[in-house]
Amino acid sequence: MKAFLDFEASSLADRSFPIEVAWVFEDGRSEAHLIRPAPGCDDWDAAAEALHGIDRDNLANEGEPHEDVARRMVEELSGHDLFASAPSWDGKWMSVLLRGAGYPRHTLRLRDSDHAARETASAILEGRMSAERAALEIDRLLDRVANREVAAPVHRALPDAQAEHERWALVARWARELVQGLGASE
């Protein structure tokens, strides 16, 4: 099953660490976790805090231990296809979280959310039109969803993961509508 992830972090610096993670499965189930940083995680950027609104006291008081969050991620997400809108950044923070909890950094792997949309649309359109036309239609669907007016990222993990899930679901819906339109014209 596909799952869409998002992380919030202490900063965008090399020593940054994850402070929040959320995921949304393709069926809509979701989880979000504030992450109490591992010992030694001291990088902090006030500008990042201004974006996500999560302060250090909040993490200390309400965050779950990083080991618990990592374990939950491995339990829930292993064996699923994981996607993020910024897999290089989110993958970095996932790796920091996993390694900090004693897991190999590639225990879980992320791919770009566009791949999820492209794969899903391709599966829907396969056999309904030529491969060349399907590739063109998929590009149009992805452009259409990219050009759609959407709210700016909230910079909180769950709403941002939900937005990725919604973009994927919209591409899938439009691909199904395209196939239905083909059936009506036959």
Task: Give one DSSP letter per residue of 72-99, joined into a string.
Answer: HHHHHHTTSEEEESSHHHHHHHHHHHHH
**Residue 21: closest CA among 37, 36, 5:** 5
Virtual CA dihedral for 67, 73, 74, 79, nearest 10 degrees? -170
Contact 84, 4 (CB under 8 A): yes
- Give the C-alpha separation, 54 to 73, whole Å: 21
> Residue-wise pLDDT tens for the chain (186 aa)?
999 999 999 999 999 999 999 999 999 999 999 999 888 888 998 999 998 999 988 898 999 999 999 999 999 999 999 999 999 999 999 999 999 999 998 999 999 999 999 999 999 999 999 999 999 999 999 999 888 766 666 789 999 999 999 999 999 999 999 998 876 554
Domains observed in the chain: 2-111 (3.30.420.10), 113-185 (no CATH)
The one-letter amino acid code at 110 reads L
On whether the CB atoms of residues 138 and 179 are closer than 8 A, the answer is no
